[in-house]
Copies of this chain bind each other. A is one copy, B any other.
Amino acid sequence: MNSTNTAVSRRDQILREAARLFAERGFHGVGVDEIGAAVGISGPGLYRHFAGKDAMLAELLVGISGRLLTAGKRRVAEASGPEAALDALIRGHIDFAIDDRPLITLHDRELDRLRESDRKLVRQLQRQYVEEWVAVVGRVHPGATEREVRAAVHGVFGLLNSTPHLGAQSSLPGRAEMSELLRRLALGALGALDSAADWRVTY
């Protein structure tokens, strides 16, 4: 029996628990013994599956960055026009933010703990993903300058990635409702780019 026979392989199990722990207490705040304990083995046992603690973080960050970019490109390519592409990008990002909270958190928090080469790779994937957004948003809101669009896109990322901060409280909307709300908020924020040309002249 090879490892892919099990529903989730031990590797994947380790990655998921590591992501959760890293997101909760930070990369340096989690020991290998704790990661091992989370999957029911000892700390050193992890080294049968990963070269080291760094390798786990690297695989997590490269993975999420790559999946975000791939899904984003696909959605834009399949969209019928700029507005549809933007909506698809927003919906896709929201799905990631809600379903992979720990990864979204790590993604912009622990990047600097990576080896140089891994960090460059992740940054490159992130940059391409941002460019995808900037291109689409620029077409939907042609009145805004590229600098404005770029800053707005980062702001919208911050908005959409805010879900992890509200730890599953009962006083919050459910998944579907939250998803729709975030989509509205994002579209509302980007809508402000249209009136940008008006107030820009006041400076």
Contact = CB atoms under 8 A, between A and B. Distances in A.
Interface string A188-200: 1111110110011
Give the number of copies in the complex: 2
Interface in A132-172: 146-148, 150-152, 154-162, 165-166, 171-172
Nearest to A130: B166
A151 B181 contact: yes
A125 interface: no
A147 B174 CA distance: 10
Contacts of A109: 109
Interface in A25-52: 25-29
B108 A165 contact: yes
In which size bucket is the chain A interface?
35 or more
Nearest to A156: B159
Nearest to A113: B29
A184 B165 contact: no
A140 to B, nearest CB: 14
A201 to B, nearest CB: 12
A24 B113 CA distance: 10
Interface secondary structure of A, over-half rule: helix
Contact of A184 (B147, B160, B184, B199): B199
A155 B190 CA distance: 14
A171 B150 contact: yes
A46 B162 CA distance: 35
B165 A152 contact: no
A200 B25 CA distance: 36
Given A29-B113, A159-B189, A187-B192, 4 more contacts: A26-B113, A109-B109, A151-B173, A189-B189
